[in-house]
């Protein structure tokens, strides 16, 4: 115990020499100068075994609070653009995503015939750009957020061309890449709460020239493991880049429990689909969603369809 207290005292002295003083200017958010708090911080901060550098911080045991960032989703705007909303009712798009999400939820929560490792990590991708993978990611997250027993974290994993902020009006701010590059950032600092209680967002974060290497790093793998295991009821949806356009999606796929591949009807060639599938052979569960179809059985019953070209 004495060594821990000595470390805490030394840390406090370092903070004071750096100009951080509890009696002077306002301290950084979350900073504490009580000896007990310093000891807890020293005991609780995880370090990488090889490099001695901190891992990106995962959510604490107290949940994601306190997150100071929040947005109110415009349900009217979302509905007009073909997205599922809490008040969608029995529309075609709502019913289609009820069908799509059911096996994903079963696998994520361990209710399927076989338990899926990290089944709550779900990547949504496509072979080529503009097939509708962002449209599918958002609708899948919005639909799962209506479930009684599940919460959703929607991650903008398309770090080169993030589109979730534009679609939802969310701030860019710190996000996924910042969690991998900044030691001073807590998970809650990067999280964005919404006016849907069970839906939170994690933006792509600050652009980085080595984004592919960051996503392939042990830090990323560690962060994903912690995200997957910390909350058993949380399903994490990654909107990822197209598989044949960048390498980031292939790197992300190696850590995913489930992959949803979106295919644009009458647009994507079978050759492109086969090429894309070959890049994600390491994932045991790959589902395919046909997007932009002119007609579906559900659509003929509900008389509604949104032909979206985003993502």
Q: Which domain holds residue 23?
A: 2-44
Q: Are strands 258-264 and 151-156 parallel, antiparallel or unpaired?
A: unpaired
**Interatomic CA distance for residues 214 and 161, integer angstroms:** 16
Residue 144 has what pLDDT? 96
Alpha-carbon dihedral angle through residues 91, 237, 273, 281, given to the nearest 10 degrees? -140
pLDDT, residue 51, reads 32
- Output the CA angle 198-105-72, nearest 5 degrees: 20
User: Is residue 233 a part of any domain in this protein?
Assistant: yes
Q: Does the structure show a pLDDT above 80 at 311?
A: no
Number of C-beta neighbours around residue 14 at 10 A: 10
**Predicted local distance difference test score (pLDDT) of residue 57:** 46
Are 191 and 291 in the same domain?
Answer: yes
Same-domain status, 26 and 106: no
Q: For residues 219 and 83, state if they share a domain.
A: yes
30 shares its domain with 90: no
Does one domain contain both 163 and 204? yes
- Top pLDDT among 311 and 155 is at 155
Q: How many domains does the chain have?
A: 2
Higher pLDDT, 282 or 258: 258
- The mean pLDDT value of the chain amounts to 77
Kindly state whether residues 110 and 223 are assigned to the same domain.
Answer: yes
CA dist list (Å): 251 to 35, 178, 271: 42, 18, 21
Residue at 251 is within a domain: yes
Q: For 120-176, how does the pLDDT look when each residue is reduced to its tens digit (9 = 90+)?
A: 999 999 999 999 999 999 999 999 999 988 899 999 998 888 888 788 887 778 999
**Is 307 a domain residue?**
no
Lowest mean per-residue pLDDT among 46-60, 121-135, 208-222, 295-309? 46-60
The DSSP-derived string for the chain is -HHHHHHHHHHHHHHHHTT--TTSSPPPTT----HHHHHHHHHH--B-TTT-PBPPPPPBTTBSPPP--EE---HHHHHHTT---TT--S-HHHHHHHHHHHHHHHHHTT-SSSPPTTTTEEEEEESSTTSSHHHHHHHHHHHHTT-SS-EEEEEE---SS--HHHHHT---SS-HHHHHH-TT--HHHH-EEESSTTEEEE---S--TTHHHHHTSHHHHHHHHHHHHH-TTEEEEEE---TTT-SHHHHHHTT-SEEEEEEETTTS-HHHHHHHHHTTTT-SEEEEEEES-S--HHHHHH---------
* Residues 261, 172 share a domain: yes
Q: 11 lies in a domain?
A: yes
Residue 136 near residue 311 (C-beta atoms within 8 A) = yes
Q: For position 67, what pLDDT does the model report?
A: 52
Residue 206 backbone phi and psi in degrees, to 5: -70, 135
On whether residue 166 sits in a domain, the answer given is yes
Same domain, yes or no: 79 and 39: no
Confirm whether 163 is domain-assigned: yes
How confident is the model over 180-200, as pLDDT tens digits? 999 888 888 899 999 999 999
Residue 275 pLDDT > 80: yes
On the question of pLDDT at 82 being above 80, the answer is yes
Q: Rounded to an integer, what distance in angstroms lies between the CA atom of residue 70 and that of residue 219? A: 27
**3-52 pLDDT per residue, tens:** 444 554 454 455 444 444 333 333 333 333 333 332 333 333 332 332 33
Residue bearing the bigger pLDDT, 188 or 306: 188
CA-derived radius of gyration, the chain: 21
Q: Which of 261, 231, 283 is nearest to 117 (CA)?
A: 283
Using an 8 Å Cβ cutoff, are 292 and 264 in contact? yes
CB 139, CB 168: distance < 8 Å? no
């Amino acid at each position: 115990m004495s060594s821990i207290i000595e470390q805490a005292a030394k840390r406090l002295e370092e903070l004071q020499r750096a100009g951080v003083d509890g009696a002077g200017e306002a301290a950084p958010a979350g900073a504490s100068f009580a000896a007990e708090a310093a000891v807890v911080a020293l005991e609780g901060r995880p370090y990488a075994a090889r490099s001695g550098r901190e891992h990106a911080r995962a959510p604490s045991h107290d949940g994601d609070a306190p997150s100071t960032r929040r947005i109110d989703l415009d349900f009217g705007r979302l509905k007009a653009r073909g997205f599922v909303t809490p008040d969608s009712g029995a529309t075609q798009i709502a019913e289609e995503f009820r069908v799509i999400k059911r096996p994903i939820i079963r696998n994520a929560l361990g209710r399927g015939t076989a338990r899926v490792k990290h089944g709550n990590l779900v990547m949504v991708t496509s072979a080529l750009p503009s097939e509708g993978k962002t449209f599918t990611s958002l609708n899948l997250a919005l639909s799962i957020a209506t479930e009684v027993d599940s919460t959703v974290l929607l991650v903008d994993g398309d770090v080169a061309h993030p589109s979730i902020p534009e679609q939802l009006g969310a701030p860019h701010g710190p996000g996924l890449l910042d969690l991998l590059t900044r030691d001073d950032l807590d998970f809650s600092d990067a999280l964005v709460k919404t006016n849907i209680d069970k839906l939170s967002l994690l933006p792509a974060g600050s652009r980085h020239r080595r984004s592919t290497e960051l996503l392939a790093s042990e830090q990323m793998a560690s962060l994903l493991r912690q995200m997957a295991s910390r909350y058993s009821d949380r399903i994490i949806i990654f909107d990822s880049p197209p598989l044949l356009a960048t390498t980031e999606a292939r790197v992300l796929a190696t850590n995913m429990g489930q992959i949803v591949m979106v295919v644009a009807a009458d647009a994507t060639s079978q050759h492109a689909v086969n090429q894309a599938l070959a890049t994600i052979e390491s994932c045991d569960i790959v589902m395919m969603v046909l997007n932009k179809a002119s007609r579906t059985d559900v659509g003929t019953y509900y008389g509604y369809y949104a032909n979206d070209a985003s993502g």
